[in-house]
Each structure stands twice: as structure tokens, then as C-alpha cells.
Amino acid sequence: MTEPLRLGIAGLGTVGVGVVRIVQKQADLLAARTGRPIVITAVSARSKGKNRDVALSDYAWEDDPVALAKRKDIDVFVELIGGDTGPAKDAVEAALKAGKDVVTANKALLAHHGQALAETAEAADRVIRFEAAVAGGIPVIKALTEGLAANEITRVMGVMNGSCNYILTRMQSAGLSYEAVFDEANQLGYLEADPELDVGGIDAAHKLAILSSIAFGTQVDFDAVELEGIGAVTIEDIHQAADMGYRIKLLGVAQMTGRGLEQRMSPCLVPDTSPLGQLEGGTNMVVIEGDAVGQIVLRGAGAGEGPTASAVMGDVMDIARGLRLPTFGQPASSLRAARAARAAVSAPYYLRMQLLDKPGALAKVAQTLGEAGISIDRMRQYGHQDTSAPVLIVTHKTTRTALDEALDAMADTRVVIGAPVAIRIEEV
């Protein structure tokens, strides 16, 4: 019989336990589909005595994940600890140097250290697989590195954080404020221990940086992602965007332009009839556009025990089959450092502002936009509130640079109360 593929699993939280369950429950299926048995040799976690509702007594226990990574009786180190520093990073580096392949769900680790880890893996003739790090159960990494490998990718975009999508769709369906739905999501356990990772867009930006590297053959550059969370989105924005045929999504977009690589994670308006506009709850969606294939849409569960463990095991099974690819789809030495471009591609924008209720106020706003080269597509004015009135404007396509120039100049008009809200409208 072919020798079994032996796993060492570091991290026995929701995903780690899910992986153990799949290996135990689907042993025959895994062997039939890979041609060899897949077994767990040893595990590691912070607490050995914790009840995890899964049998672990047959596996060796290591308190230290680095010691687990170095064990001679494992072939693949499965890192499910999380975090871009500390034990996760130390253990992955140790595993590679000890001649082990690595499967991880750790998006932060790859977003911050992906290039160095890829170089380490290739120097040791090892592989790093990480399907579970991006969009949970959606096989987007495999799509980019295998199924679409013959395409020049022109754009990657998507909703990559289910918690944010839950908050935004719940605000719309229930008519609740951001603060109320945030508290609800927190109580339901939908948010990270540090909620800013979710609502600040950081978690989703990690994923976008990884996808950009694969799609465009560049070194991972998380610091180049333009980042804005959903904390400033109000129920008024939700309702007024819907009134004009749009939905608000925390949308990641990456595209190569003449100025360089544009990567942004920010609230955007999308048509409510588009696949992204119709995406509800905690579901993720990734849209990929290639020169040969056109546009494809991948949709599915972006988190949770089953979907993420499924992605982990898909990577394990590829290793068992002997499939060995460079970490980001091509040799690390060929990945170039991309020049960062800030919102270089023109787009229409949604503007919401509060104007003083006085003659000529709206004309001053239109003049200010016009002087920046921005024309108005649609405009609506809502009911007066004491001495002011909310105004909604949708512009024709413009650059963010021109828009920022206009927004800065509006302070001098003395008719705009507070800072206007500006949200890009993405054509999908």
C-alpha cells in the first residue's frame, strides 16, 4: 500500500476541529480520491484539556507548535493558529526548514510575509497551500492558479468579509442603524475578538492582497491597499442608495492600470440587480475577469467550520496527489514589486451632503463640482430639517483626485454642513 500522508495540525479551534472530523469521517473517500491514506499523527493547541467534542487520544500532543512542525513523523504541517507574528509564523518557518509542506488558513501571515515565506518554501523544495485563507469554501485560489492560469487577469473584485456583508444587508432589511447591527453581530459571535479586523476592512484587505499577487504576478503588498471600513455608512446611505437602484457593499477591487496596481477595499455602491448587489448575509462572492474567459462569478460560504475545513482538506489532498505549484502561482523570484496606484480608474460617485436651506446653495455645489471637471448625472433633495436639507448627487465618471479637489473646495462655499460622504459606484 502507498505510504500514508501524515498531518500535524496546529490549532484546534473551529476550523482545526473541522479538519479532524473530515479526516476521521471520510478516511475511505480521501484515500480513494488521492490514491493514498491521509492520517493525523500529532496535534497542538493552547489547552490540552479543553473539551472539543472530537476524539484526539490517538494523536501525539505537542504544547509547542514549533516542536510539532519539526516532528519527523509528519509530512504536512497544517497551521490553523492565526496571526502574522508569534507562534504561527515561527512554526511555519520551522516546518519549511524541516522539509515539511505547509497548509494554512492564515491570511494575515501571507499578506504580511508571503514573499519571504514563498522564497523559503521554494528554496527548501516545499509547497505552501492556502485555499482556506481567502473566501472560506470558495475555491478562488485554485481557480486563479489552475483553471484560469492561461488568462491575463484584468480585474479581481468581491465581497470577502461575511460579517460586513451581514451588517450591511441587515441594516437594509431591518432598517436598523450601523451601531445597532454591529452590537447584534457582536453578540451573535460574528465578529473577531478585535472587531476592527472585520468592520475596518483589514481582514478583507489581507485576502485582496493575496489575490492580487496571484492575479497579476506581483509581490504581496498589503500596505499598498487603500483601506476604508464600513463604520461611516449610515442607515440614510443604505436607504438613499436603494432609492437610486444601488446596494452598499464592502468591496475589494484589484486591477493593473497604466499607473500601476490599484488595490482598494472600501464601501462601494453596486447595482442592486447585479450578482454582488443581490448577495445577502454572510456569503462571500469573488468576481474574476480574464482576457480569454471573460467574467466568472464564484459564490459561497466565506467562513465557518465546514467550508473552511473543506478548503484545508482540498489543499491536503492536492499534496497527497503530488500536485506541487509555486506559492503564488509562479516562482517567487519572478514576482515583481508593483507600483501602487491610487484609484486611477475613473468611476461615478455617490455624494451625500447636508446643505444650508438658503437660495443658491445647490448652485454653489454644482459650480464647485464643475470647476473640478465633474458633471452631475442625477440629483435628489430630501425633506428639510430645520435650516438644512440633505442632498444626494450621483456624478458621471471622474477620478478620485478630481473628487477630492471638489470636496476640499466645498468647505469654502459656506453652504455645506459637515463633511460630505463620498462612495464610489462600481460597475459590475
Hey, which residues are catalytic here? 207
* DSSP letter for each residue of 369-426: HHHTT--EEEEEE---BTTEEEEEEEE-SB-HHHHHHHHHHHGGGS-EEEEEEEEEE-
Cα separation, 213 vs 205, whole angstroms: 12
Cβ–Cβ under 8 Å, residues 336 and 218:
yes
Cα separation, 128 vs 117, whole angstroms: 8
Provide the β-strand partners of residue 347. 398
Separation in Å, CA 50 to CA 30, 47, 310, 417: 28, 6, 23, 55
Q: Which residues contact 180 (CB under 8 A, 6 or more apart)?
A: none
Cβ–Cβ under 8 Å, residues 151 and 336:
no
Cβ–Cβ under 8 Å, residues 152 and 262:
no
Query: Closest Cα to residue 338, out of 217, 204, 419?
Result: 217
Beta strand 416-425 with 260-271 is: parallel
Which residue's C-alpha cell is 436603494? 242
**Phi and psi based region of residue 11 (left: phi greater than 0; alpha: psi -120 to 50; beta: remaining):** left
